[in-house]
Amino acid sequence: MTALTVIVATPLLSAALLALVPGWRISAWINVACCAVTFAASLALFGAEPSAGAYFIVDSFNITLIALTAFVGLTTSVFSAGYIGHEVETGRLTPLKLRFYHAMYQAFLFTMLLALSANNLGVLWVAVEGATLTTVLMVSLYRTAESIEAAWKYFILCGVGIALALFGTILIYMAAQPVMGPGLPAMTWSALMEHVPKVSPDILNLAFVFLLIGYGTKVGLAPLHAWLPDAHAEGPTPISAVLSGLLLNVALYAVLRFKMLLAANGAAIAPGPLMMAMGLSSLLLAGLMLYRRRDIKRFFAYSSIEHMGIVTFAFGIGGPLGNFAGLLHMAMHSLTKSAIFFGVGHAVQVTGTQRLEGIRGLTVSHPALGWGLLLGVAAIAGLPPFGVFMSEFLLISSTFAREPLLALPLSLGVLVAFGALVLRMQQICFGAPAADGGRGHGSLAPLYAHLALVLLAGLWLPEPLVGWFRSVAALLG
């Protein structure tokens, strides 16, 4: 049994098992154990030879993302085990809902890992659609009017997006058929990369537009972002952590796979300008919208839109440095934003509100939580010596070197968002507490573990990881 088989099969089988386990305490820790098995198997991929079959592929591009997804899935399950204890105590979640929640959590991990390891365009599409359906069900878990409305908006907007992505996928298959013939080869990444220089560039161009808009909806790029703040605000906080930290990466990964096809066809359009335009618009819109948010989860949801805009811009400008910065920023955002949502989940539980005016002075009332959130916001704002600063510095440097006129709006967007984050950070962490506060629930270890990795990345990147990023940057063109 290969490591990839374990990675894909473990969450799928775990979902079926957890649907049958009645006790929420034991199911919470079974959830953690299953995530640990998946993460251990993902580490084994680093010692395996790259391989490609009809349906699955392991290469330098997806190994790091698979390991990152499994790791964040594990730490979020640890945070979730403590978080749901409070939800049970307050009566917000019943045992039946918790059984459903744990099963859907593993099903969600399964769909993301399947998408990242797929060597078939159709399997990729089905996996991303599956991720949409599982998260829709989890966003509506509380069954309030607001959560059902948020889930419905998520389903409609992302359903339209995934339909456009399906049309783009069909166009890719139509373009490949005259060259490769009908059947599986014309739907397989590894085979397509070998034959795509002979494929009609006109159909490729049209397909990429549909794919960028379709999968870009799942990335949360403006103007297709409207589902994301509602989904974060109304769903359980652990789901917000994996939505921001993982699902957005998976959707962008799909876009980048198709970008590689266009880059291998010399007659096709350059996808960079389209990606840079969507990335910049997302960055600028989200940076301005941060100042008007009054709900803490919506606030950090717009921060996710901002950072996915930065990553999309980085891959749009391309080149060795731009692609390297984009890959590093994807990893740093995943670790940092999930850590922030761990802290947000604790803060909401101890204060009893998601309103920003009700969350103040956490360093006084709950020092470990307050300082952890302070460090998380400082990291996501791009302050040194955290890894986000390093990736943003590399991107801005690359932009100044390659497209100086675009460096100004890029820097402006980063600074606008920085101002909003610093403003809210002072309110949340300092001053007189808004209430006497309750006790914390669960461990803060996942939060500090993520922040330690982000700090380490800002100070020193291991040479093997730098080698991985360089090899992928070269693949992306």
Structure tokens at 213: 């808009």
**What is residue 423's three-state secondary structure?**
helix
How high is the pLDDT of residue 61?
A: 87
How high is the pLDDT of residue 1?
A: 52
How high is the pLDDT of residue 184?
A: 87
> Comparing C-alpha atoms, which of 200, 264, 328, 312 is closest to residue 476?
264
pLDDT in tens, 416-455: 999 999 998 888 888 778 765 556 566 899 999 999 999 9
> Comparing C-alpha atoms, which of 98, 230, 115 is closest to residue 169?
115
pLDDT in tens, 254-291: 999 999 999 888 888 889 999 999 999 999 999 999 99
Tell me the C-alpha distance between 461 and 446, whole Å.
21
> Comparing C-alpha atoms, which of 346, 358, 378, 337 is closest to residue 428?
358
Q: Which amino acid is at 365?
A: S
CB-neighbour burial class of residue 450 (10 A; exposed 0-12, middle 13-18, buried 19+): buried
Yes or no: say if 11 and 38 are a contact pair by the CB < 8 Å rule: yes
**What is residue 59's three-state secondary structure?**
coil
How high is the pLDDT of residue 439?
A: 60
Average pLDDT across the chain, whole number: 91
Q: Which amino acid is at 319?
A: G
For the cut 90, the answer to whether the pLDDT of residue 51 exceeds it is: no
> Comparing C-alpha atoms, which of 203, 282, 275, 220 is closest to residue 476?
275
> Comparing C-alpha atoms, which of 102, 116, 15, 5 is closest to residue 59?
116
For the cut 80, the answer to whether the pLDDT of residue 13 exceeds it is: yes
% of the chain at pLDDT higher than 90:
65
Average pLDDT over residues 351-355: 88
Across 2-16, 355-369, 381-395, least confident range: 355-369
Structure tokens at 222: 């403006």
For the cut 60, the answer to whether the pLDDT of residue 470 exceeds it is: yes
pLDDT in tens, 302-331: 999 999 999 999 999 988 999 999 999 999
Tell me the C-alpha distance between 354 and 429, whole Å.
15
Tell me the C-alpha distance between 29 and 237, whole Å.
18
Average pLDDT over residues 190-207: 91
Q: What is the DSSP letter of 245?
A: I
pTM for the full predicted model: 0.94
